[in-house]
A and B are shown apart, each in its own frame.
Chain A
Amino acid sequence: MPVMNYIQAVTQALKEEMTRDEKVFVLGEDVGVRGGVFRATDGLYEQFGEARVLDTPLAESAIAGVGIGAAMYGMRPVAEMQFVDFILPAVNQIISEAAKIRYRSNNDWSCPITIRAPYGGGVHGALYHSQSLESIFANQPGLKIVMPSTPYDVKGLLKAAIRDDDPVLFFEHKRAYRLIKGEVPTEDYTLPIGKADIKREGSDITVITYGLCVHFALQAAEKLEAEGISTHVLDLRTVYPLDEEAIIEAASKTGKVLLITEDNKEGSIIGQVSAIIAENCLFDLDAPIKRLAGPEVPSMPYAPTLEKEFMLNPDKVERAIRELAEF
């Protein structure tokens, strides 16, 4: 099984889906000749031509709108937002149109669009290149939000997103692009959207998180294993709608739960996870549910020291786990 990095898995999934189904096409800023600012669409233009790999103007509302229209007519567009920070001009298209068209048309129409966007900090991206915006979309029934953590999950879930008959937001952590490597099967496979995945079995502490933080949790867990602290790590993979069953099972398993997100704490995805646990697991809880998240600061600072302070890392996760273990 070949080892590839996170972004190569994105490219691989796009290539395979475009080969499998001619209705699949890519559009976005600099996705064509340039191959994407992160090189996610590298080689697609050469392989599939300009009709299926569209360089668009700097107009995110148009990228989403064109994609939504094409999707409603039976195409399978994969729209790229260069950074998730730039998705905001397209929010009206996504929430008002893509998310609601099936409901509004009484099931006559659907919108099988996938919107990809790199998110997250830790790359000196500062204000406009570091945000985590998933929670903006996380109470819009009709939308799905997928945020994978490993190359294997990237390929399987991106293919599933493209094949999904409804709109899927596919958020990729930009720092994971070249940091995270893993084995990815060459054959065709998909992974179920809406299902969380146990990334590590443990019995003392349950960590529930998603995206890059999964790796921080795994690194911390590895280190704490030597001290006799056994950590269970659940990767949400899909942050909307949440996999309630898996969350309840994981939380009940140890009764001590740490929830992690890189997003600002208040109003984040993990607040919802916490509510699910509180509603369902009271009599299994052995400690207050603990959240580890970004501070309530408007944006990721540019100064490296402050960025480091803002970002989560394995040490912060380790400290939080140890605190819970000692409780």
Chain B
Amino acid sequence: MLKEGHALTVEKITMPQLGESVTEGTISTWLVKEGDHVKKYDPIAEVMTDKVNAEVPSSFTGTIKELVAEEGETISVGELMCYVEVENVKSHEDSSNETEKSQETKPAVEAIEETFDTKDQSMKMRYSPAVLRLAQENDIELSQVKGSGKSGRITRKDIEKIISSGDIPKSNLKETSSSDDGNTVQVSQQKSSYVQSTEGDIEIPVTGVRKAIAQNMTRSKAEIPHAWMMVEVDVTNLVKYRNSVKDKFKSEEGYNLTFFAFFVKAIAKALKEFPQVNSSWAGDKIIQRKDINISIAVAKGQELFVPVIKFADEKSVKGIAKDIATLAGKARNGKLHSDDMSGGTFTVNNTGSFGSVQSMGVINHPQAAILQVESIVKRPVIINEMFAARDMVNLCLSLDHRVLDGLICGKFLARVKELLENTSNENTPLY
């Protein structure tokens, strides 16, 4: 803006360093006055320091615009002596552009850092010795403290502020130990000593899904008194029926018509008739679920997911087959949402797909039962005093004995068996 109207720019001449330990100089005489034209290296002032008297040369060719320092004044090295108007526009433009640029970019960088800081919580659990000591001395639950330090770190100042405010977040371990909350079980489990690995063993860190599975299974087994039952079902008709339509189904619908879809359909129907099985233990009450949402176990590598077929009782065999295909596909591609996995009221586990003929499932907490569909195997069976080769399958039920007893579960399994054995072209429409 200084060069407005004419192609001139104003430069500063500052006190030069006139000796090794010299930090300031006194202007004894100005050799130029305002308005004088000077050439580069022309002397403009006489300066006196502790060590020497010297002439200060002009650093530019131009016109003296303003003498800032007065004769007799002592100024530090680097401080302004005078302004010179110079006819060299380019260098000034360059430098001014640069400063503008750096000013423009600076806030952007700061903004990035700010958002980075607020999101990054990687240092939240890294406690300094001071923070740990203060937290212990004042019984402060650090997990409930918000850190103001780098990447969410809790600083000593944060703790000191909490202490002086008197509003101290206490540890709630005592409360949970008396409640029915399953967290305590996990805590004590985690604290028990574990096996040590020896040379050559491979240690695999427990993370993510594996950790969740471990916690859920531990909770289920620790909390729920499991009981087991098994029935044997003759699914010869079902197998025939399914095999007769599966190719056509695949070509028309684009996904497989599995045995499993028929099982889920039959179980959903039986659950509608036995709502006691479709329920949850809730401490002082048992909650019977209105919706019938079937959880199905889907394995993917080292991981196990339990997506849910919602409103299974309202769906046709085709609808269920479609849900199974969709959910399994999502699980394999890591696309399952928490929506896909929540709301289950009863679990059906396709253990038969691994060749299992009998198993004892761990109930999917907080449901009341889980049913394992085992392998369909051809076996000699006696029908009407004669041997026959039949397709047989075992259905294994694990039940929460707080909610259910053998009688009701036996009736439920008998009904499932009946439905499956009567599955055929005539009485089981696909659509």
**A, B: real partners:** yes
Q: Which residues of A contact B (CB under 8 A)?
A: 38-39, 123-125, 129, 174-175, 177-179, 204, 254-256, 282-287, 326-327
The minimal Cβ–Cβ distance linking A325 to chain B, given in whole angstroms, is 9
A107 and B149 alpha carbons, distance in the complex (Å) = 55
Q: Which of the segments B127-135, B138-146, B201-209 contacts the partner chain?
A: B127-135
Q: Contact check: which of B24, B133, B149 meets A327 at CB < 8 Å?
A: B149
Q: Mark B147-170, 1 if CB is under 8 A from A, else 0.
A: 001100101110000000000000
Can you list 12 residue pairs at the A/B interface with Cβ under 8 Å? A125-B20, A178-B23, A178-B24, A204-B157, A254-B156, A282-B129, A283-B133, A285-B129, A286-B130, A286-B131, A326-B150, A327-B153
Chain B stretch 3-47: residues in CB contact (< 8 A) with chain A: 17, 20-24
Closest 5 CB pairs of A and B: A286-B156, A179-B23, A123-B20, A283-B133, A286-B130
Q: Does B303 contact A (CB under 8 A)?
A: no
Closest B residue to A125 by CB, please name it: B20
Closest A residue to B113 by CB, please name it: A326
* Further contacts, 18 of them, CB under 8 A, given A178-B22, A204-B157, A255-B128: A39-B50, A123-B21, A124-B17, A124-B20, A174-B21, A178-B21, A178-B23, A179-B24, A254-B156, A255-B130, A282-B129, A284-B133, A285-B129, A285-B130, A286-B129, A286-B155, A286-B156, A327-B153
- Please state if A286 and B21 are interface contacts (CB–CB under 8 Å): no
- Please state if B21 and A38 are interface contacts (CB–CB under 8 Å): yes
Across chains A and B, the number of contacting residue pairs, with CB separation under 8 Å, is 51
Chain B stretch 109-145: residues in CB contact (< 8 A) with chain A: 128-133
Interface of A is mostly: loop
The minimal Cβ–Cβ distance linking B54 to chain A, given in whole angstroms, is 15
Closest A residue to B127 by CB, please name it: A286
In this complex, the member of B21, B22, B132 whose beta carbon has the largest number of chain A beta carbons within 10 angstroms is: B21
Which residues in B have their C-beta under 8 angstroms from that of A326? 149-150
Closest A residue to B50 by CB, please name it: A178
A256 and B131 alpha carbons, distance in the complex (Å) = 12
A179 and B130 alpha carbons, distance in the complex (Å) = 39
The minimal Cβ–Cβ distance linking B25 to chain A, given in whole angstroms, is 10
The minimal Cβ–Cβ distance linking A194 to chain B, given in whole angstroms, is 28
Q: A39-B50, A327-B150 are in contact. Are A287 and B23 (CB under 8 A)?
A: no
Closest A residue to B24 by CB, please name it: A178
The minimal Cβ–Cβ distance linking B319 to chain A, given in whole angstroms, is 57
Closest B residue to A204 by CB, please name it: B157
- Please state if B156 and A255 are interface contacts (CB–CB under 8 Å): yes
Which residues in B have their C-beta under 8 angstroms from that of A204? 157
Which residues in B have their C-beta under 8 angstroms from that of A179? 23-24
Which residues in A have their C-beta under 8 angstroms from that of B149? 326-327
Closest A residue to B148 by CB, please name it: A326
- Please state if B128 and A286 are interface contacts (CB–CB under 8 Å): yes
The minimal Cβ–Cβ distance linking A262 to chain B, given in whole angstroms, is 15
